[in-house]
């Protein structure tokens, strides 16, 4: 039985050696082919990339729209803050798409404030822009740090109900311009996880 084990191991080692040798041989052959093809190109002018290509640089219209989208996102957050301060859910209809999950969530939160006669003190949000990506003529995606200042929820007699610390989370905001609308509206805000990190 010992000799069988030894011969099996020897056969495995030989197979591994043969496979390894063939792999090295293929690697050397492919490197040689690459080097030969490079030598054939010596002296030839290298092709140039045309700067007039549409993908070479963003158009001025795209840059203007990008700036408009970023400014609109900031304005949407200001209006959202105002809606919570004033406990007025109706003004959210002008900044969210009708199917935005944020619209229902913010309406419910504001209705809860009103029903309990609570108000918010210190609510303020902002965004630190990381990426702005064009998807189509009517859809842009903005990746941004969503920052919120500390806030207090108080009863009418200024009695503290709840206190929230401020913070920052990375979000992806989808801004769209639905048919018949002249304004960019918030269609979705989702927590964003960078695939590289």
Query: Residue 165: which CATH number?
Result: 3.10.450.240
Global pTM value: 0.67
Does residue 17 fall inside a structural domain? no
Q: Does residue 10 form part of some domain?
A: no
User: CB of 176 within 8 A of CB of 138?
Assistant: yes
Q: What local confidence, expressed as pLDDT, does residue 2 receive?
A: 52
Give the separation between CA 197 and CA 153, rounded to whole angstroms: 35
- Residue span of the structural domain in which 115 resides: 60-191
Instruction: Look at residue 101 in the predicted model and tell me its pLDDT.
Output: 93
Residue 177 lies in a domain: yes
The pLDDT, as a whole number, for residue 14 is 37
Q: How many domains does the chain have?
A: 1
Identify the bridge partners of residue 132 per DSSP, sorted by sequence position.
142
pLDDT at 156: 87
- Residue 173 maps to a domain: yes
Q: Is residue 37 part of a domain?
A: no
Segment holding 66, helix H or strand E:
helix 60-86
pLDDT at 136 (0 to 100): 94
107 within a domain of the structure (yes/no): yes
Secondary-structure percent of the chain, ordered helix, strand, coil, rounded to 5: 45, 25, 30
Domain membership of residue 9 (yes or no) is: no
Contact assessment for residue 169 and residue 191, using Cβ atoms and an 8 Å cutoff: yes
Task: Find residue 133's DSSP bridge partners.
Answer: 141
Low-confidence ranges of the chain (pLDDT < 50): 5-57, 197
- Is residue 101 in a domain? yes
């Amino acid at each position: 039985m010992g000799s069988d084990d030894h011969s099996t191991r020897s056969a495995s080692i030989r197979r591994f050696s043969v496979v390894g040798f063939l792999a090295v041989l293929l690697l050397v052959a492919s490197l040689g082919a690459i080097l030969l093809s490079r030598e054939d190109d010596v002296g030839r002018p290298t092709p140039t990339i045309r700067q007039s290509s549409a993908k070479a640089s963003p158009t001025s219209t795209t840059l203007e729209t990008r700036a408009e989208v970023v400014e609109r996102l900031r304005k949407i957050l200001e209006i959202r803050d105002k809606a919570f301060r004033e406990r007025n859910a109706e003004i959210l209809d002008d900044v969210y798409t009708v199917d935005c999950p944020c619209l229902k969530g913010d309406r419910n939160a504001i209705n809860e404030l009103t029903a309990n006669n609570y108000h918010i003190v210190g609510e303020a949000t902002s965004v630190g822009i990381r990426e702005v990506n064009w998807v189509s003529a009517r859809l842009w995606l903005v990746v941004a740090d969503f920052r919120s200042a500390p806030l207090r929820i108080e009863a009418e007699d200024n009695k503290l109900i709840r206190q929230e610390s401020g913070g920052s989370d990375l979000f992806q905001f989808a801004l769209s311009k639905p048919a018949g609308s002249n304004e960019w509206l918030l269609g979705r805000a989702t927590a964003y996880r960078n695939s590289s990190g």
